[in-house]
Amino acid sequence: MIRRLTDDELAVLAASMLAQTAFLLAEPAAHTSMHEDWACALVPFEAAVRGRLVVAAPVAVAAQVAADALLVPPADEEALLHAGNAVADLAGVIAGAVVPELFKTNGPFRIGLPSVVVCEPPLAPGERANRVTLVNEVGQPVRVELVLASDAFSA
């Protein structure tokens, strides 16, 4: 039904988009637990199946991305206020690369608007996820999760 992305392919697409849009150089790493304050964003999409792309990063990383965009120091209050929006922007850009890759041979698709969420939503019954953790050059993580209905894939 749709093209199945491997975790490695998801990691490469996400890392490429982070580098191109946020100048955030990242590479795949082991799973990282969310034990500190994280900023999280979700982008829904629709095609032959529905799904979502979720991006989460520690607030420090998100504030750095926001600071770079706002041209202010990372500790500036504006950077902290816009940290969630920075992650939402990254999620939108990553979804813009991942979703066309999934549905390129299966007709039209629609990517929704990114929104800031409190945390990564849990998987619902009948969903499956690809999750990758990328780390930047100083070891800070960025998590990317692609969620689709489990029956979305052809055998």
Q: Is 90 exceeded by the pLDDT of residue 27?
A: no
Q: Is 60 exceeded by the pLDDT of residue 86?
A: yes
Overall number of domains in the chain: 1
CATH number of the domain at 110, please: 3.40.1550.10
Residue 2 lies in a domain: no
Say if residues 136 and 90 touch (Cβ distance below 8 Å): no
Print the domain residue range for 67.
7-152
Q: What is the mean pLDDT of the chain?
A: 84
Residue 1 lies in a domain: no
pLDDT score recorded for residue 47: 85
* Cross-strand pairs, 54: 42, 145
Environment class of 44 (CB within 10 Å of its CB; exposed 0-12, middle 13-18, buried 19+): middle
* Beta strand segments in the chain, E: 26-29, 38-46, 50-58, 110-111, 115-117, 127-136, 141-149
Residue 110 lies in a domain: yes
pLDDT > 90 fraction of the chain, expressed in percent and rounded: 41
Measured distance CA(146)–CA(97) in Å, rounded? 12
pLDDT band per the 50, 70, 90 thresholds, residue 13? confident
Beta-carbon contacts of 126 under 8 Å, excluding residues fewer than 6 positions away, are 149, 150, 151
- pLDDT tens column, 51-82: 999 999 999 989 998 998 899 998 899 999 99
